[in-house]
Amino acid sequence: MTKSTGKQQSSLMLALLPLVLLYACTVTLYALTRDDLGGTSAYWGYFVPVVAFISLITAWGNAYARGDSRLFYLIKQIIIWGAFIWVLMLLQKIGADTALGGQKATVAIVLMTALVSLLVGLYLDSKMFFYGAYLGLCGYLLADPSHSAVLAKIGETFKVVDAPNKPLTMMIAIAVVAFLVSAFLLMSTRGSVAAKRAS
């Protein structure tokens, strides 16, 4: 292995690390929340800025590859995620989480974060669209565990027997697929950036 090849591989691993953290933390939070739906809303609240930061850094190359202004890209990300975090803080300040109760507050945070991720994915970074869809599924299953019948169709694709009764296993498998799609999109962007720099 040449020095430049080793450098490229370590650079790719470093670029993939935020996505690994994003999905690993989400799966961990999902597993914790299944056991204690009411007691994990604070963890999800702390996780939102992490999602925002990862969204910001993993799509930085997209703006360059498309020829967009990185300043405008940065402003858009800050407005979207900043407004969302501000709304969450405002809701907490007025006691919305207490009024809703821990369980409903947790599901609301998960679903709102999924919605914002989908929005960012549609307009700024397609990787976040897949993450938002995954997080939305997490929220859907947390809202009512009886919804796990939706996993039957997904289980057929993955050849998992009795998938509705294995929600955690299924969510891990779906997270791996969403991560692989995101990694492919990231590598495509890196290829576009490299080609643009070379020309």
- pTM of the entire structure? 0.89
Give the pLDDT confidence of 2-33 residue by residue, as tens digits: 555 556 667 778 888 999 999 999 999 999 99
What mean pLDDT is reported for the chain? 86
In whole angstroms, give the CA distance from residue 48 to residue 4: 36
Interior/surface letters 118-149, b for 16+ CB within 10 angstroms, e for the rest:
bebbeebbbbbbbbbbbbbbbbbbbbeeeebe
Give the pLDDT confidence of 25-72 residue by residue, as tens digits: 999 999 999 888 888 888 999 999 999 999 988 877 777 777 777 788
Per-residue tokens: 151: 């996993």
Mean pLDDT of 132-138: 95
